[in-house]
Structure 1
Amino acid sequence: MTSENNRPDADILIVGGGLSGTLLAVQLLRLPGQRRIVIVEPRPELGRGEAYSATELGHTLNGNAARMGVEPDDPEDLTRWLGEFITAGGWPESDEQHVPVAELFPPRGIFGLYVQQRLAQARTLGETYGSTVEHVRSEATDMQADDTGVRITLADGRGLSGYFGVLATGMFAAARTPQRDASALNAAAVDPWDVDAMRQLDPQGRVLIIGSGLTMVDAVVSLERAGHRGPIDVFSRHGLLPHVRRQPPAWPDFLGADHSVRSTRQLVRALREQCEQAIAQGIDWQAPLDTVRVHIPRLWSQATDRQRRQFVRHVRPWWESHHHRSPPPSAKLLERLVEEGRLKIHAASLQNVYDKAAGQVRISVRYRGEDQPTEVSGAALINSTGIQYDWRRVDKALPKQLLARGLIQPGPLALGIAADAGGAVLDAQGQVSSRLFAMGPPLRGMWWESTAVTDVALQAKALAARLAAR
């Protein structure tokens, strides 16, 4: 689709209108200069995506307001906005957390409103420069790119063209993403965030959950909201639960002062020493841990493939449970259910999912330390295995076509896709694209932590400047 004078439909085509794509549009609209931005997003609203379309108040951010602002140069932006929102009567339930606004863990749906308001403000500013943003409500199913620009094919057969394209596809939630090797699990499972579907379950029935990370936490919250009061069995390889996120005092940036820490082994040893020092001083061990995050992109990018594999194989489960922590309200719910004996965590790996029979779902798991699998049955099954970062396993049209055309290649350890330091995508031959870029979760393999709000906000600002300069 091009205009009569062969001008492309957009200067910048953004695939994905969740947090990543919306924040990129915000930053582009704020920059002087006239540009046309088109965002391809199948959802009815921009700014929400997978994570912030949640409607249940119990599905909260896993970081407090002071940590989750979308303005890289103004860390208090969300705190101020949330305070005004609460004062206007927008979230009366906030009183239940009994903490100052900066320490509140807001519902993800409300955070989505915050992102949308920042987009609305940026639109107004962009109009003064002659810039526009258009939401094309459809799914991108194919893409072509060359030295002249990019062309996108939509699900309804329409085409869009642009000078530049950006893959801001966000996260592929395993529970909601067709996968080539997990079709049986998803076919038998209940959506972790679908409270209405959970209301149809036997409230006293046994629920089986695969995975013990933050998606599992959301699933348990959903079950509680749906009125479920039966037993819940959680199965994961290591049997680790996310720690609860607390608000520790400031701790010296020990990695900033010592760049000799480079390997996984050195990082774990140094961090353990710092945590032991904190505990000895009566300080929460999360204080030293929270200083590490800002250095992860540097440490990951300078690590060898062997060191990265060692981290993923040996450290990742503990990193995830310690770093990606549960919001306090959700953690209190899990603690109560464990104390009541309703929630049990099992160190076991899923072996098979059987066809439903007599209203029961059956699976087989192999418990840690055992050689033979054990069959387990329940009234419902939930897939809480988290995020699928390997694009080769995602059974969706666009990732498949991008790989088939050789426009992209898997990122390090097959996490996301490969790109240069500024987000320019690498094709199958390793050539850096001059027209196609990526940001956010697709760059997981490049930076390891590329999913949090602060990560995405920083990438959006840097990529917007790069695109505007070109």
Structure 2
Amino acid sequence: MSAPNQRHSVAIVGGGATGVLLAAHLLRNEEADIRVTLIEREGSFGRGLAYSAVQRDHKVNVPSRGMSAFADDSEHFLRWLKAHGYAEGNDPWSFVARSTYGTYLADVLREADRARPGRLVVLSEEAIAVRETAAGIETRLANGTSVLSHHAVLAVGHETQPARGRGIAVRVGSARDTPLDPYARVMILGSGLSMVDAWLSLAEANHKGPILVVSRNGLLPQAHRDVPPIEIDAADVPFGTNVQYFMRWFRDLADETEETGGDWRSVVDGLRPFNQRIWQSWSEHSRRQFLLHLRPWWNIHRHRLPPDLHRRMIEAVDQGQATLIAGEFLGIAQHGDMVDATIRRRGARDEETIEVARVYDCGGVSVDVEASSNPLIRDLVATGRGRPDPLHIGLDVTEDNFVIDAAGQPSRRLLVAGPLTRGRFFEIEAIPDIRLQCARLAERLTGGQVAQARRFPSS
């Protein structure tokens, strides 16, 4: 077991985007006498689920000008792109490959280590449990050792839920995603950003066969457009109202903006600084209504596609290669090399069974933490040291990100960062939101002694 010395120590579990950003923000403060241990079971730091995609067309869905690791240094990512010879560095409106952004995050971590030598330890190990002690918090590893620190932060990011249909459906890029007959008919469950990834993988393999896209609403993500956000005064935002009232206000504002020559995207982006406050002002009933009825509509407008990918997707639909089906997926059965997928189209009474060569499950990454495959999260819930949030879309945390146990008591040592806090903050999926949360956590964990923060160079 490694024990903390007098230097304040923080263990971060998860070496994807959230973990790397938090480590970089902690080490960025020259005034903080701190030691950071970053634990990642995959041994690859900065990539995680989001930025491990290798295809060039798998791009981030935020323009480069919004992807800096540091909110107070908005040019950091663009400088890095230029320094490393990427043409996108000259275009703030570019959308880079996700693999490129993963490389950037790995460089951010390396530069943080170089700037504060001896302060960062990285471990390629799996964390399986945490226990608070009199001296701090113990993070137990699968290899039988432990890391003892003053605080620990869970930053494990997104977790992919098991594919539906008793394992018959396939996740894109998994071991079971083997080559297909290029003229075979396939079905994709879900029509969000994950569906676009599946479609791009098929396109890269020069797939010619029909692609059926089935989702409850049959909606495609909208395209980005380079328009500025409108300015919205907090006094004009109807905090604390019900979802129906809020959506009427939102639609009226979007209509007024477009009637004067503006764009609805300016309204969505102008609302972004208030999104977390809006979510927290709603009752639990309103939040459930939003998740059940409005989230798909919100997602396609809020989480948009790079313009070129959206254009290609629309062309595939217009040319008949991809067909959007609004309906409910009911079940799946294997027979020989083929699959029977049963659906019910929206508005229809009868079920419909369609024979396809493969079903891709792209229904998203949210998973009930009680069904998590992560041993640390399972242990937290099983022992009562943590609990799901009321909506079961993440862990229950305080406003300051401390884990809340089964008795409703907040931890003094264990915090959570990133998508696992979506029940409290909801809008905590994209880099612009995660980096702000990490900056606040870093300030809190370093005692608020943030003087002039060091800006890491971009080389």
Residue 28 of structure 2: aligned partner = 30
The answer to whether the aligner puts 1:2 opposite 2:2 as a matched pair is: yes
Give the drift of 1:100: 5.9
1:262-290 deviation line (CA, Å, top 9, x unaligned):
32233212221121122212222211121
* Corresponding position of 1:72: 71
Distance verdict in 2 for CA 1:252–1:7, change over 3 Å? closer
Partner SS for 2:165: helix
Once residues 373 and 2 of structure 2 are traced to their aligned partners in structure 1, the CA distance between those partners, rounded to angstroms, is 30
Residue deviations 1:31-50 (CA, integer Å, cap 9, x gap): 22332211111223211111
Tell me, in whole angstroms, the C-alpha distance in 2 between the residues paired with 1:183 and 1:147. 44
Q: Tell me which amino acid in the other structure corresponds to 1:386.
A: G
Q: Which residue is 1:47 aligned to?
A: 46
- Residue 12 of structure 2 corresponds to 14
Q: Distance in 2 between matches of 1:367 and 1:203?
A: 27
Measured after TM superposition, the shift of residue 397 of structure 1 is: 1.9
CA drift at 1:155: 2.8
Aligned length: 446
Task: Structure 1: give runs of 5+ residues left out of the alignment.
Answer: none
What does residue 425 of structure 2 align with?
Answer: 447
Q: In the TM superposition, what are the counterparts of 1:12-411 in structure 2 within 5 Å? A: 12-31=10-29, 32-85=31-84, 88=85, 90=86, 101-127=91-117, 131-174=118-161, 178=162, 184=165, 187-193=167-173, 200-253=179-232, 255-263=233-241, 264-354=243-333, 356-411=334-389
AA of the residue aligned to 2:170: V
Q: In 1, distance between residues paired with 2:285 and 2:176?
A: 44
One-letter amino acid of the structure 2 residue matched with residue 26 of structure 1? A
Q: List runs of 5+ in structure 2 lacking aligned partners.
A: 449-459
CA distance in 1, matches of 2:169, 2:109: 35
Tell me how large the CA RMSD over aligned residues is: 2.2
One-letter amino acid of the counterpart of residue 38, structure 1 = T
Partner Cα separation in structure 1 for residue 271 and residue 173 of structure 2: 31
Equivalent AA in structure 2 for residue 42 of structure 1: R
Q: Say if 1:145 and 1:407, in contact at 8 Å, map to a contact too.
A: no
Q: Which amino acid aligns with 1:71?
A: F
C-alpha separation in 2, matches of 1:81 and 1:2? 35
> Is residue 404 of structure 2 the alignment partner of residue 426 of structure 1?
yes
Counterpart Cα distance in 2 of 1:372 and 1:156: 53
TM-score (norm 1): 0.89
Any idea what SS the aligned residue of 2:446 has? Answer: helix
Runs (4+) of structure 1 exceeding 6 A deviation are none
Q: Which string of whole-angstrom CA distances, capped at 9 and with x for unpartnered residues, describes residues 68-118 of structure 1? A: 222111223223322333xx2x46xx5xxxx96110000011111221222
The Cα of 1:319 is off from its aligned counterpart by 0.5
- Contact conserved, 2:7 with 2:33, CA < 8 A, in 1? no
Q: Secondary structure at the match of 1:416?
A: coil
Displacement of 1:373 in angstroms is 2.5
After superposition, the C-alpha distances for 1:330-385 in whole angstroms (9 at most, x for unaligned) are: 2122111111101011111121122x322112221122122342222211111101
TM-score (norm 2): 0.91
CA distance in 1, matches of 2:292, 2:315: 32
2:455 is aligned to none
Contact 1:2–1:8 (CA under 8 A) maintained in structure 2? no
Deviation at 1:141, TM superposition (A): 2.1
* Separation in 1, partners of 2:121, 2:143: 18
Amino acid at match of 1:385: G
In structure 1, distance between residues paired with 2:131 and 2:280: 29
User: Structure 1 394/376 Cα, relative in aligned 2: closer, same or farther at 3 Å?
Assistant: farther
